[in-house]
Structure 1
């Protein structure tokens, strides 16, 4: 499967990207999982795991491969509560990312994170230039 982000509306490109991401995680295919990300140095990631900020496509690809290598079997993803907003050259998706998997040492992964992707129209493609993942701080009470 290739990601169809060329020549589509932003909404369709984002829907296709999420379908591709889900399939890529099930197959543990890092190249496919990152196929709709900017490769020109514009990409930045604010992730749950250190460092505070990661940047660049090569680092994204490395981090994705490391995660896939640390897990056993397929990784199931689901993005719920999706909201997409679009302007002429920028679009974003926000939602909740549910992930279910198992580390090779047997520990389960069952998480729900807040998930935001910012897409930029580059030529005819909609590519991710920024990603932000965060965990709810349920243990904190104010």
Structure 2
């Protein structure tokens, strides 16, 4: 296999994992979401704490997030960019989540999503995830109404 063919194969495998992750996220399937993350995952997400370290902390994070919503979520990872080598890769994109909170408030916001991947035993897993939103520094408030 050529270097280019190997990169294309790695790119395709990561995109397939992101597609599975998006479906699991939309279905509020914790196990499906966790299937793309390494056991030693470190996540810097928009929800507290400042960082979640390890699968156990991250599972708790997913349960809390999903429990705040009623019904399924609409999830998009459009225009994902992937850079992959033999065993390490990163991906990034704007990421959209639409849903209805348990209090009836409808949400529709875009996030910035970056993932660091490592290939172990032939499988790509996310070892680091960064999710963020812009902040208005004057007010200290997250800007959840921005659209691409």
Say yes or no: TM over 0.5: yes
User: Which aligned pairs between 1:56-95 and structure 2 lie closer than 5 A?
Assistant: 56-95=54-93
Higher percent of residues as strand = 2
Deviation at 1:48, TM superposition (A): 1.2
Q: CA–CA distance in 1 between the matches of 2:55 and 2:64?
A: 14
Give the aligned length.
Answer: 131
Structure 2: unaligned runs, 5 residues or longer = 1-7, 139-148
Structure 1: unaligned runs, 5 residues or longer = 1-7
Q: CA–CA distance in 1 between the matches of 2:112 and 2:118?
A: 20
Question: Match of 1:123?
Answer: 121
Greater radius of gyration (CA): 2
Deviations 1:84-127, CA, capped at 9 Å, x for gaps:
10122101110000110111111122111110011101011111
When normalised by structure 2's length, the TM-score is 0.82
Q: CA RMSD in A?
A: 1.6
When normalised by structure 1's length, the TM-score is 0.85
SS in 2 for 1:75: strand
